[in-house]
A = this chain, B = another copy of it.
C-alpha cells in the first residue's frame, strides 16, 4: 500500500504545490486547512481531512505548512497524536524553534525532520531547486533517506545543516536583505524623495536596487514582520548593521579617506570572490541593456512585442525608442501608433512573429498548373515549393494524366501567402522555380 501523507495548512499555496507533488509521486494525499476549503482538495483530486485528529493518527507522514507564528502551536497539538513509526515534518523558513517543538512534543517513536524548501509555489518542478533539511541523528533514521530520495529523484538538491546554523544564515539571507530594502524604502519617505523623478538618473545599479526596494515593500507586510520577528538571530544582524552604518558614516563625516578605503578593502577581502559577483551582476545589467539594444536596432523595421501582463501582441514598425518606451506604428491594427513600456514587453522571435502573422493576417491563394517531368513525384515538388519562406502553405489541388499526346502528369499547386507580402511576386518566384526543375506551364 502507498504511504499516506497529511498536509496541515495544505490549502495554502505551498501546501497545494506539495499536495500535487506527492500525489504525482504515488502518495495517498490528504489536506487540512483552517479555512475548511474542501473545494481545493477536490480540485487537486486529493482527500480533505474532515476529522483532523483521525487523519493525524492514520498518516505515515504529517507535514506542518502553516505561518511561522503558529507553527509551534500546531506542532504541539499534532505531534502527540501521531502513530508509532510515522514522520513529522515542518516547512517553516526558520528551523530552531520548530525543530525544538517537534523534539519536545513528538513521542520518541515518531520521527521528525525540519525542512525548508528554498522556493515559492510558482516553480514548475523541483529540478535545480534547493531544499534545506535539518535531520537529527537518531530522530529520522528511517524516513530521512526516503524523503531525501523522493526529492532528489525529481532533480532537487538537498542541503543538510544544523537548525541553529540554518537560522543564522537565514537571519542574513532573508533578515538582512529585507531589512536593508525596507529601510531604504522608509528613507525615501523620510527624505520626501521623489522616486519616479529619480529614475531620470538611470544608473543601472540604482535602477535595479530600487526595483528590489519596491518589490519588497510592496508585498504583504505581515509576512515580512514575521520573518523579522520570529528569528531571534535577526536582531543580532540588525545590531551589526547599525554599527557599520554609524561607523562608515562617521568615517565619511571625518573625510577620512584612508579609513574608508581600509574598511571597504577588508570587507571585499572577507567577501571573497568579488570578481564573480561583478560578472554575475554585469550579466544581469546586460540582460536589461541587451533587450533595449535589440529593440533600438529595430527602428524602422517590423517587429512583434507581446505584453507580459495583458498578453496582447502588438505587431508593427518601430517608430522610435526612448529610454523606457518603444513607439510602434501598427499597420495591421488600423494604423494606430502605440507607446509601450519596454520593461513590460517581450520581443517575439522571428518564428513567433511568423506564426502570429499566419494566425492574424489575411491568407491569399494563387494556383499554378504545370506538367511535371517524367517520373517526378508531385508531392516532392510540393515540398520543394514549401521551402519558399513567403509561402505559408502548399497544396496539390489537382493531378491529371489524360492529356492527348502528353505523357507527363499535370499538377495544380495552390500556394497560400500572407496579405503583407506581394502574392504576384511570390507566384512568379514559384513559377520560375518550377521551370528550373523542368516543369512546363499548362494552358
Contacts and interface: CB of A to CB of B under 8 A. Distances in A.
A75 to B, nearest CB: 20
A284 B283 contact: no
Interface residues of A, number: 134
Interface string A285-303: 0011000110010000000
Given A177-B205, A177-B209, A268 B225 contact: no
A275 interface: yes
Contact of A372 (B195, B288, B438): B438
Interface stretch (A36-44, A50-58, A228-236): A228-236
Contact of A203 (B173, B245, B268): B173
Interface stretch (A16-24, A80-88, A258-266): A258-266
A152 to B, nearest CB: 12
B268 A185 contact: yes
A217 B184 contact: no
Interface stretch (A4-12, A105-113, A125-133, A414-422): A125-133
Contacts of A267: 182, 185-186, 188-189, 217
A221 to B, nearest CB: 4
B240 A242 contact: no
Interface in A219-256: 219, 221-222, 224-226, 228-229, 234-249, 252-253, 255
A352 interface: no
A213 interface: yes
Contacts of A242: 242, 245-246, 249
Contacts of A243: 190
A284 B288 contact: yes
Copies of this chain, tallied across the complex: 2
A336 interface: no
B277 A213 contact: yes
Contact of A198 (B169, B192, B282): B169
Contact of A132 (B201, B264, B343): B201
Given A176-B184, A191-B172, A271-B195, A281 B215 contact: yes
25 contacts: A118-B203, A128-B323, A132-B200, A132-B201, A157-B323, A169-B197, A172-B188, A174-B203, A174-B206, A177-B206, A179-B245, A182-B264, A190-B243, A208-B208, A214-B271, A218-B268, A225-B264, A235-B253, A241-B245, A279-B308, A283-B308, A376-B438, A380-B436, A384-B437, A438-B438
Question: Top 6 closest A-B pairs, CB basis?
Answer: A214-B277, A380-B436, A218-B274, A373-B438, A376-B438, A373-B373
Interface of A: 118, 127-130, 132, 155, 157, 159, 161, 169-170, 172-174, 176-177, 179-193, 195-198, 200-203, 205-206, 208-219, 221-222, 224-226, 228-229, 234-249, 252-253, 255, 257, 260-261, 263-268, 270-284, 287-288, 292-293, 296, 308-309, 321-323, 341, 343-344, 372-377, 379-381, 384, 387, 433, 435-438, 440
